[in-house]
Each structure stands twice: as structure tokens, then as C-alpha cells.
């Protein structure tokens, strides 16, 4: 995917940032570097989703847009029970969390502006 992203960026023009691989909890970019941060179906496989969201907020410019799409814990108790059972399998096999609440983590994970 990194090679495909690099190719697409070069097709779009020379002023594009190079594709880079990094841990979501420790992004290699300066504060306020981006207008928009997008995270699609990835927080479920990050060890610390709150830290990843804090990092995304850190690299956003003031007024920047954070777009998140992920599966979340069900509100229906029966479905939540099934998710928790399935999560026992997915955590062991692919490190995938099924029952997180990334929106809540995002609200709680806002960095302080001292």
C-alpha cells in the first residue's frame, strides 16, 4: 500500500508529501502540519486508540478536520455479547478490537493547549 500511495502522490504532482510508514501513536510530523487527518478502519488494530487520536489532533492545524470511520461496540446487548466473543478470536489472530468507542476516546483525548 505504501508503494501505491507513493505512486499516486507522484502522479498528483511534485509538491505532495512522500508516503511514510509510522506508528499511529507516534506520528513523525510536526504540530499543526495538516488541514485534514483521515483514519479509516484502522483504530481497531492500534494498540492505544486514544494515543493515536491525540496524535492526529496534534498534527492538525487549528480548525483542521479529523475524519474517523471504524467499527464500534454495539449498543444492543445481544450484539455486544457476540462482538465480545468474536473479539476474543480477532485479538488473538489479527490484533483487531471489535468493541471500542473511538468517538469517546477522541473527545477524551483532546490535547491540552497550555
Q: What is the model's pLDDT at position 60? A: 94
101: its cell numbers: 468507542
- 16 is a domain residue: yes
Number of structural domains, the chain? 1
- 87 is a domain residue: no
Dist. CA 65–CA 53, nearest whole Å: 12
Does this model's pTM top 0.85?
Answer: no
- 86 is a domain residue: no
Q: What is the CATH number of the domain that holds 34?
A: 3.40.50.150
Q: What is the model's pLDDT at position 113? A: 40
Low-confidence ranges of the chain (pLDDT < 50): 111-114
pLDDT in tens, 44-57: 999 899 999 999 99
Dist. CA 17–CA 9, nearest whole Å: 7
Amino acid at each position: 500500500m505504501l508503494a501505491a500511495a507513493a505512486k499516486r502522490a507522484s502522479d498528483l504532482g511534485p509538491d505532495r508529501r512522500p508516503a511514510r510508514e509510522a506508528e499511529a501513536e507516534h506520528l513523525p510530523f510536526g504540530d499543526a502540519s495538516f488541514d485534514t487527518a483521515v483514519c479509516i478502519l484502522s483504530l481497531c488494530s492500534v494498540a492505544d486508540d486514544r494515543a493515536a487520536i491525540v496524535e492526529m489532533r496534534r498534527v492538525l492545524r487549528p480548525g483542521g478536520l479529523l475524519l474517523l470511520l471504524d467499527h464500534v461496540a454495539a449498543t444492543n446487548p445481544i450484539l455486544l455479547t457476540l462482538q465480545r466473543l468474536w473479539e476474543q478470536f480477532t485479538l488473538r489472530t489479527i490484533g483487531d478490537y471489535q468493541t471500542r468507542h473511538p468517538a469517546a476516546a477522541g473527545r477524551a483525548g483532546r490535547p491540552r493547549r497550555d
